[in-house]
Amino acid sequence: MKVGEEIMSIHISNDERLFHIETKNSSYVFRVLENQQLQHLYYGKRIHVKENYGNLASYQTRGFEVAYTATEEQIQLSMIQNEYASYGKGDFRHPAYQVQDATGSRITELKYQGYTLSTGKKRLEILPSTFDDEGDRSEVLTITLKDDLIGLVVKLNYTVFPDQNVIVRNVEFINEGPSDLKLLKAMSLQLDLSDDEFDFIHFSGAWLRERQLYRTALRPGLQSIDSLRYSSSPQNNPFFMLSRKNTTEESGEVYGFNLVYSGNFQNSIEVDHFSTTRVLVGMNPVEFEYLLEPKKSFITPEAIMSYSAQGMNALSQQLAIFYREHLVNPRFAKRPRPIVLNSWETMYFNLTTDKVLELARCGQRLGVELFVLDDGWFGHREGDNSSLGDWTTDYRRLPKGISYIADEIHKMGMQFGLWFEPEMISIDSELYCTHPEWMISTPHRKPSVGRHQYVLDFTNQEVIDYLFEAISSIIQETKLEYIKWDYNRHITDAFTATLLPTKQMEFGHRYILGVYQLLERLTKAYPEVLFESCSSGGGRFDLGMMYYAPQAWTSDDTDPIERLKIQHGTSYGYSLSMMSAHVSASPNEQSGRRTSLDTRAAVAYFGVFGYELDVTALEAVEAEKVKEQIHFYKKYREVFQYGNFYRIRSPFEDDVVDWQVVSSDKSTSILLHTSLISHLNPGYSLVKFCGLDEDKRYTIAGMDEEFFGDELMNAGIKIIPEGAENGPVISTPEYQSHLLIVEEIKD
C-alpha cells in the first residue's frame, strides 16, 4: 500500500483502486468498481489496512433490479453500496446529486479519473469551514470523477483529522463542457452502511424548547430532519447520530454527522429493501437549483462525520476538541469567555442611560466582566415594531449617546457589548424610507410578516456594504468588545431583483453566502470583537455560525429545569463553550416556575455563564450569593468551558440529572446532581463519577475524606439530602441541586 506523505492516514492500494482512510479509531474504505464508478466498502471501528477486501467488495444481482448496461449485467447499482450515487441508472434510492444537462436529461455517469493527496486542510473561500492552520494535523484526499458526455467534473474531498476521529467531506462540481448545466441537488456527504441495526438520534424542537432528544430505531423507507426556513432552525438541528441499539453514553458504536451551514439543509436516512442504510447530509434540494455555466464551479458546504466505539460521551468529547482545534475562530477557541450581564430580561425596551448604567455598575460590583445592552438602543425602537436597519443611537432615550454609555462601562473596568439584528428591516425605519427595494419581497404580492419585521436581501452587495459600514461605525465609536447577532424571523417571499429569472432558485444559498460575507468582513476587520449568535434563542445553533461566532444563546427559555433538557440535548453535538447560559429571575419569565438561585446558577455554570437578571433589585443575601457564584465560576471557568463533559443521567430518561465536567489533566471535576421532582422519604441517591484518574487521590468540598478515583467512579458517592445532618429527612424538594467539587490531592 502507498500512503500519504506525512500523516499517513490515507492508504492507497498499489493498483490505485482502493482507498483506506484511517483515524485513530476508525477506518473508511472505498474502491473503484470495474465500470469506473465508486463502491463504498466500510466505515466503522479501525481495521487493518489491506490491498483489497474481497468479501466486503463482493456484490450480487437480484431479480427485479436493473443492470447498469447490457454488457455490465453483473452491476446493479441498487445492490451496491455507492460512494456518491446518481439517479437514473438503477440505483433507486435517493441520490447524492442531480445535474440536468442542456437537453433536459438528468442522467449522468461519473467515472473515476484519478486522485490527489495533500496535507493541511485549507479554509474554503466563501463558506465557513474546518481548517488546519498548522498544516500538519490533517490530510486531504480528492477523488476526481467525470461524465465525459456533458463535461461534468465532480471532485469528492475527504479530509481526515486522525486525532479526533473526524472525516470532513465536501464536493465540487465543475462544468468543463460547452453548455450550461443545472445543479438540482448537491449533497455534501453520502454514506452507505451495509446494515440497518441502528437508532436514529436527533435534536428537534421549537422556540423555547430547542434540541430535545429523539431516539428511534431505523425502519424501512426514508426518515429525515431538515429545514426549509432558510435557517438551520430550532425545529431540527442539523447534528444527528446513528448508534447501535445498545449504545449508551459510556459504551457502544455511534456515528455523529453535522453540516457546516446555516441555511436550508436536508439530512436523511434511507433503509432499503435489503436492509442497507443510506445517509445523506447537505443543502436541502427543495428550493435549490444552481446554474453551472461553462468553466464555472460550485462548492458544497462541508459535512462532518465522526465515529466512536466508546459511546456518546466519547463522541461528543472528540467533537468538542475538534471544533476547538479546527472550526472555531482560533482567537477565541481557547480563550476564557467573559461572564455576561445582559439587559434584556431586566429592561426589555425600557432603556434610559441612568438605568443602564445603574445595572452595569451593580453588575460590576458583583464581578461581571461584560455588560451587554440588548435590543432597544438604536433608531427609535420603543417596541419590536420599528427601527431595524437604523443602527445609530436613539438620542431621545439615550441623549448622551451609546459611546457615552460605552465609555462609562469601560471606566468601570468591564467590557461592553451590543445587540444587533443585522439581517432585518422594519417598515418603520429610515432605512426602509431610503431603500424599500432592499427588503425581500416578491413583485406584486403583499409580503408576509413576522415579529412586525422583514428580512434584508443579503444577495444584494449594497446591503452588505451598508451594514458593514453601519456596524463598523458603532464598533469604532464604542470600542465594542462583543456583538450579539440576532435573527428573529424566517424568510418568506423569496425573490431578488439581483438575480435573473433563471437563477432565482439560487436565492436561499446566495442569501446565506451574503450573511457569511458580512461576518467574514467584520470578524477580519475587528478581530477582537467576540460574536455571539442568536435566533430567538437557539434557533440558528449550527457550525456555520460557530465558525464566526464561537458561542450562541442556547435558548430564550432561561428556566433552569427546562434548560436541563435544552443544554443536555445541545451537548451531544456542540461543546459547553458554545452554549451561553444565564441566570434569570424566579418565577421564570417564560415558564413561571420557581427555582432557587443555587439551582439557576448550577445549571448555567455548564456553559458560558452570565446573568439576565435585575441585579439592582437583589436583597443583600442574594447579592452576596451572586458574588460567590461569579467568584466560583471564575475559579472553575476553564473546566466548565474547556473540560471534558459527561452526561451521566439524562432528563429525557430520569427524574434526576447528573452532569460532570473534568479538567483535561483529571485534577479537577465538578458534578451537578439535580432532582426534577420531589421525593418523599427518599432513599440514597448514588452518583458515579466518570473520567477521573483511577489512581489519583481526591477530596470533595465539604466532605472530610479522601477518595481514590476508582472509588468515585466504581463505588460512587451517596448524595446526602439537604438537612440530613439535623435528623431524618422526610422529603427532598423538587429542583434541588448539589454541586460536588472534586480536587486532586497533590502532595
CA distance 123 to 661: 31
Any contact of residue 78 with ligand GLA (CB under 6 A)? no
Instruction: Please tell me the distance from the alpha carbon of residue 41 to that of residue 19, in angstroms, as a whole number.
Output: 10
Q: How many chain residues bind ligand GLA (CB under 6 A)?
A: 11
Quote the crossing angle between the two packed helices 620-642 and 353-366, to the nearest 10°: 70
Single out the residue of 486, 506, 557, 559 in contact with ligand GLA (rule: CB under 6 A).
486
Asked if 537 touches ligand GLA (CB under 6 A), the answer is yes
Cβ-based nearer residue to ligand GLA, 167 or 546? 546
**What grid cell was written down for 204?**
428537534
Q: Is 487 in the site for ligand GLA (CB under 6 A)?
A: no
The reply to whether 195 belongs to the active site is no
Q: Is residue 302 close enough to count as binding ligand GLA by CB under 6 A? A: no
Number of other CB atoms surrounding residue 404 within 10 Å: 15
From the candidates 226, 375, 486, 559, give the one annotated as an active-site residue.
486
> Whole-number minimum distance, CB 515 to ligand GLA, in Å?
17
Q: Which residues in 116-155 contact ligand GLA (CB under 6 A)?
A: none
340, 580 Cβ separation under 8 angstroms: yes
Stretch that binds ligand GLA, among 37-45, 437-445, 534-542, 707-715 (CB under 6 A): 534-542
Is there binding between residue 438 and ligand GLA (CB under 6 A)? no
Q: How far apart are CA 624 and CA 655, in angstroms?
A: 31
Asked if 344 is part of the footprint of ligand GLA (rule: CB under 6 A), the reply reads yes
Piece in contact with ligand GLA (CB under 6 A), picked from 6-14, 151-159, 244-252, 533-541: 533-541
Q: Is residue 595 within the footprint of ligand GLA (CB under 6 A)? A: no
Q: What are the Cα distances from residue 214, in Å, to 370, 653, 656?
A: 36, 11, 19
Taking a C-beta distance cutoff of 8 angstroms, is the pair 199, 245 a contact? Answer: yes
Question: How far apart are alpha carbons 256 and 261 in whole angstroms?
Answer: 16
Note whether 689 and 707 are within 8 A (CB).
Answer: no
> Exposure pattern of 335-356 as b/e (b: 16+ CB <10 Å)?
eebbbbbbbbbbbeeebebeeb
Three-state helix/strand/coil letters over 120-175: CCCCCCCCCCCCCCCCCCCEEEEEEEEECCCCEEEEEEEEEEHHHCEEEEEEEEEE
Looking at residues 551 to 590 of the shown chain, list those that interact with ligand GLA (rule: CB under 6 A). Answer: 553, 556
**CA-based R_g, the chain, Å:** 27
Q: Which of residues 402-421 bind ligand GLA (CB under 6 A)?
A: 419
556 flagged as catalytic: yes
341 binds ligand GLA (CB under 6 A): no
- The footprint of ligand GLA on residues 51-70 (CB under 6 A) is none
Which member of 139, 272, 374, 559 binds ligand GLA (CB under 6 A)? 374
User: Residue 534, interface with ligand GLA (CB under 6 A)?
Assistant: yes
The active-site residue out of 101, 132, 556, 658 is 556
Phi-psi bin for 387: left (phi > 0), alpha (psi -120 to 50), beta?
left
Only segment of 100-108, 292-300, 531-539, 582-590 that touches ligand GLA (CB under 6 A):
531-539
Question: CB 538 → ligand GLA: shortest distance, Å?
Answer: 8
Question: Hey, which residues does 581 pair with through a beta bridge?
Answer: 609
Minimum CB separation from ligand GLA for residue 484, in Å? 6
**Should residue 536 be labelled a site residue for ligand GLA when binding is judged by CB under 6 A?**
yes
Is 483 near ligand GLA (CB under 6 A)? no
Answer positive or negative: Cα dihedral of 232, 233, 236, 237. positive
Q: Is 488 in the site for ligand GLA (CB under 6 A)?
A: yes
Active site residues: 486, 556
Binding site for ligand GLA (CB under 6 A): 344, 374-375, 419, 486, 488, 534, 536-537, 553, 556
